[in-house]
Structure 1
Amino acid sequence: MLSVQGICKTYGPVRALSQVSAEFRPGEVHAVLGENGAGKSTLMGVLAGFVTPDSGVAALDGRPLPFGKPFAIRELGIRMVHQHFMLVPQLTVLENLVLAQVAGGLGPVPSGQTGESARQKAKELGWEIDLDAFAGDLPVGAQQRVEILKALSGQSDVLILDEPTAVLSPDEAEELFAVLRRLKAEGRSVILIAHKLSEVMSVADRVTVLRKGVVVASCPISETSPGQLAEWMVGGLPPRGEATTSKPWGEAAAGAESVRIRDDRGALVVDGATLSVRRGEILGIGGVDGNGQVELAECLAGVRKPESGTVLRPQRTAYIPQDRQSDGLAMALSIEENLLIGGVPQGVCAGPFLLPGRVRAHAEGLVSEFQVKAGSPADPVSSLSGGNQQKVVVARTLGRQPDFVVAVNPTRGLDIKATSYVHARLKEAAARGAAVILFSTDLEELAEVADSCQFMSRGILGEQFLGEAT
């Protein structure tokens, strides 16, 4: 059993964890819930050896954990699959698996032995895997399988998964849950960080809820409900996105006609897509990841050129990319600097020079308005939780009141309250006359937010459904 007692961790004035105690038992899926910034990732970082707490103890089967030593903790049998995958895209699957076993430069690992072990484990889990494929060429679901195989190599008594379904389709999520049930049947302890309460109720045996770094509840999943979990997470019932006042849509503001797009490898990923979105309308585009949605979104936003066809967009176009860390943020810069990327607001400059006081005031206004949990706008954006990093991207994008918004999975990794807030802001943007295209793999999100929908499969964009898809 993995246990923690009295764990505390502060970052300057921010108390990330305060007297956290919990037990993670063999043969159980234990969900850890909380809003963005509640301390979930910090606690998992402590368990995996990436974060050294200020005080407290932790032990696995009575053996104290060597805090701050991830390789030593890995050897004890605690493995973690991060929300942002830790694969080297230029290496093959087999090379990534071998690399994961070279802890601290302890010498070569036989690739043949690693490959055979990986094939055997993949077969046990019901997976087919191409060890010779380059990791960067795999769809996200397959990349996650590689990460899990990395974590299961060697002794692995405790498996930590940070938001594992954030990048998965519903079918892929169900496949993952089946794997988690197999792992717990083998006697492993599975720790699951999650935001989707329906998933937690489906797969978890026990749940612990963090709020502002404090454990507010811990109980068997059979003794609670989605409503109760939501109240524990946010300290009350979460707000629902309010429907905006319906009004007639305006003229077409953006669109595409017979667009063909190739990806970075030259493969045709969008074939003859045609769409139109009007002022005041939210057009949802759904489908399983990897069917050309990202490339179409990039083309509509002006960051990828089509091979052929026509794209129409207004000058004030804003883009919320799928990968916040690679495409949405400059991770080495501060929060306030990231909020200036793509356009400096009026009044922040004197000629070519930025005015630090006004830069700070601009950032503080957006941080407050979009409820970004941060110590100071001067802090590096890399210091924020994944959900709060996404809020910075959304704040920068919607805070400029664009005429056309392209958003790709904008609530991925966000908690209940933040998701409702982003949905409300997208509706507000449409209500003031912006045209919005929302790419999402979450059908519930499309049903909640979109006025009309189209679906993509194998690069083909289907017909539009107007307010009738459920």
Structure 2
Amino acid sequence: MPLLEARALTRRFGSFTALDGVDFDLRAGEIHAVLGENGAGKSTLMNVLSGLLRPSTGELLIDGQSVRFASPADANAQGIGMVHQHFLLVPPLSVAENLLLSADKAKGGPLSWPLKSVLTEAQALAKSLGWSLPWDALAGSLPVGTQQRIEILKALRGQTKILIFDEPTAVLTPTETPELFATLRQLAAEGKGIVFISHKLDEVLALSERVTVLRRGKVVARLATAECDAGMLAEAMVGSNLSPTPLPDSCSSLGKGAGGEVLTVQNLTLGKLKNLSFSVAPGEILGFAGVDGNGQTELADCLSGMRKPESGEIRVGAMRLSPAPKAVREAQIGVIPADRQKRGLALSMTLTENLTLGVQDSPEFRKSIFLNAKALRARAEQLIQRFDIRTEGPESRASSLSGGNQQKVVIARALAGEPKVVIAVNPTRGLDVGAISYVHTALREAQAAGAAIVLISTELDEVLTLSDRVAVLFEGKLRGIVAPETPREELGRLMGGAAA
């Protein structure tokens, strides 16, 4: 008998069907992966299973008994816990206080459940998982891997027997991911059922026993992982095999050094970043590789006008760039920030409003002192179509979109004006294989149009696939600029601090 079973689940939002007759089951002691493009229905399915949404039709069963959830608390009471991709912690509160907020209402809730009881239970659970946590530290001050452990402890409170993990490695460093996998395997070995959502096919193949693939709200494949390879999974997800995006023919006459440098950086210093100098030519992609935390954040902040460097300068053509977002826009620099939800979008605003940001001062979209609402809506409709943003319409809120479609909004705004320079920071983090292909194509098209592109990514494969040259950062310093064909052993040596 399955631990959890969904029968013919359907969820509609107005005329849009997000889930269409989905069947799904989870066994005790199993890690079951759910795959699908962004917008395929994965998040909707998980939100139904965890009590955040009610199904329009269909049935949920736990241990063979039909259940109905009116809230996540109901799902928790039935033994279902969920670890969200974007953590639900209160940063100014301590680890212990965050755990207190998630106290079981059946035991009196956070106002009556003593902190000592919370700590005792959490410490015992952490010890069983081999963790040592700083219980008095502020949650917002901790590395993301530690924050995720706090979320797992919250999800495991009480008698949890089913755990749902939504893109759990999207925010982790390469060294933190194996630690998470060890935890998931241990929990499965204890008899818990694990639902694992990931866009990374190699992770699914390494971790899960079964895979359910969704496409446009329907189950299109149920596969035993041992009988699959990455190509089969990718084809099931998107309906065809995906190959690396080729360089457009129109780029061949641009490339390195053609027409002089568009972007020039000289002796840039800020925080970990030390005296960094480089230049990028029109139609060139310069990729920055390196272990996260070696100056990439400071570089991105300087290039996007978010922070003033301690010394050095940035030039676009002959013009020196002022450290301000408005100056960046006026210099025709398009920015794809690392965090689409914190820096890329105003989630409570509509798509029209989000796509207006950056062009609100343009005479084309103003009527005297007022914005031209009709022109801005028409522009939003054009961008929605051009960038294949899957939404009910331009007045939908950004928060209602899947992660991949949110990223398309960010990219649409960055690339809509045919920028001279594009700053792309981890542009495919948290995206599925189909959305990754789309983002890569969009960057290639900007390159073909003559944009100078700075790609800052912790995904080495992404840097090597897209870049004309690869710059390696270590402790904020440039260790060398090499060809993407450079052997990985040499790249690893540079990323570890060796000189070129």
TM interval, shorter chain, is over 0.9
Mapping of residues 247-326 of structure 1, within 5 Å? 247=253, 248-249=255-256, 250=258, 251-261=260-270, 268-313=271-316, 315-326=331-342
Specify which of 216, 221, 236 is matched with residue 212 of structure 1.
216
Is the contact between residue 244 and residue 465 of structure 2 (CA under 8 Å) also seen in structure 1? no
Structure 2 partner of 1:418 = 435
Is the contact between residue 239 and residue 417 of structure 1 (CA under 8 Å) also seen in structure 2? no
* Structure 1 residues 427 and 95: CA distance shift in structure 2, 3 A: same
Q: Secondary structure at the match of 1:114?
A: helix
Specify which of 161, 164, 179 is matched with residue 160 of structure 1.
164
Shift of 1:151: 1.4
* Structure 1 residues 274 and 131: CA distance shift in structure 2, 3 A: farther
Structure 2 partner of 1:223 = 227
Residue 133 of structure 2 is aligned to residue 124 of structure 1: no
- One-letter amino acid of the structure 1 residue matched with residue 286 of structure 2: L
Deviations, residues 241-290 of structure 1 (Å, cap 9, x unaligned)? 122233342322224333332xxxxxx34343333322222111233334
Specify every segment of 5 or more residues in structure 1 that has no aligned partner in the other structure, as ranges: 262-267
Shift of 1:346: 6.5
Instruction: Give the structure-1-normalised TM-score.
Output: 0.93
Instruction: Give the structure-2-normalised TM-score.
Output: 0.87
CA distance in 2, matches of 1:368, 1:241: 21
Is the contact between residue 50 and residue 70 of structure 1 (CA under 8 Å) also seen in structure 2? yes
Structure 1 partner of 2:323 = none
Q: Secondary structure at the match of 2:47?
A: helix
Mapping of residues 380-459 of structure 1, within 5 Å? 380-459=397-476
* Structure 1 residues 274 and 89: CA distance shift in structure 2, 3 A: farther
Structure 2 partner of 1:341 = 357
Structure 2 partner of 1:203 = 207
CA distance in 2, matches of 1:3, 1:253: 57
Shift of 1:110: 2.9
Is the contact between residue 231 and residue 238 of structure 1 (CA under 8 Å) also seen in structure 2? yes
Structure 2 partner of 1:112 = 116
Is the contact between residue 255 and residue 300 of structure 1 (CA under 8 Å) also seen in structure 2? no
Structure 2 partner of 1:368 = 385
Is the contact between residue 102 and residue 108 of structure 1 (CA under 8 Å) also seen in structure 2? no
- One-letter amino acid of the structure 1 residue matched with residue 359 of structure 2: G
Shift of 1:103: 4.3
Structure 1 partner of 2:38 = 36
Report the more deviating stretch, 44-53 or 447-456.
447-456
Count of paired positions: 464
Structure 2 partner of 1:49 = 51
CA distance in 2, matches of 1:437, 1:328: 17
CA distance in 1, matches of 2:70, 2:408: 29
Shift of 1:461: 4.1
Shift of 1:102: 5.3
CA distance in 2, matches of 1:335, 1:27: 42
Deviations, residues 431-468 of structure 1 (Å, cap 9, x unaligned)? 22211111111111111111222233444443222333
Mapping of residues 172-191 of structure 1, within 5 Å? 172-191=176-195
CA distance in 2, matches of 1:291, 1:325: 23
- One-letter amino acid of the structure 1 residue matched with residue 338 of structure 2: Q
Structure 2 partner of 1:265 = none
CA distance in 2, matches of 1:271, 1:158: 47
* Structure 1 residues 131 and 365: CA distance shift in structure 2, 3 A: same
Q: Secondary structure at the match of 1:388?
A: helix
CA distance in 2, matches of 1:121, 1:258: 49
Structure 2 partner of 1:58 = 60
Q: Secondary structure at the match of 1:59?
A: strand
Residue 80 of structure 2 is aligned to residue 78 of structure 1: yes
CA distance in 2, matches of 1:384, 1:369: 17
Q: Secondary structure at the match of 1:289?
A: coil
* Structure 1 residues 257 and 130: CA distance shift in structure 2, 3 A: farther
- One-letter amino acid of the structure 1 residue matched with residue 101 of structure 2: L
CA distance in 1, matches of 2:10, 2:68: 16
Deviations, residues 16-39 of structure 1 (Å, cap 9, x unaligned)? 001111101111110001111111
CA distance in 2, matches of 1:290, 1:86: 23
TM superposition outliers: structure 1 runs of 4+ over 4 Å: 102-105
Deviations, residues 349-404 of structure 1 (Å, cap 9, x unaligned)? 34443333332221122111211110111111111111111111011111221111
- One-letter amino acid of the structure 1 residue matched with residue 304 of structure 2: A
Specify every segment of 5 or more residues in structure 2 that has no aligned partner in the other structure, as ranges: 318-330, 489-500
- One-letter amino acid of the structure 1 residue matched with residue 178 of structure 2: E
Structure 1 partner of 2:14 = 12
Report the more deviating stretch, 121-130 or 193-202.
121-130
Q: Secondary structure at the match of 2:135?
A: coil
Q: Secondary structure at the match of 1:170?
A: coil
Shift of 1:86: 0.8
* Structure 1 residues 100 and 312: CA distance shift in structure 2, 3 A: farther
Report the more deviating stretch, 281-290 or 43-52.
281-290
Is the contact between residue 65 and residue 73 of structure 1 (CA under 8 Å) also seen in structure 2? no
Specify which of 47, 53, 71 is matched with residue 69 of structure 1.
71
Q: Secondary structure at the match of 2:307?
A: coil
- Report the identity percentage: 47
Q: Secondary structure at the match of 2:70?
A: coil
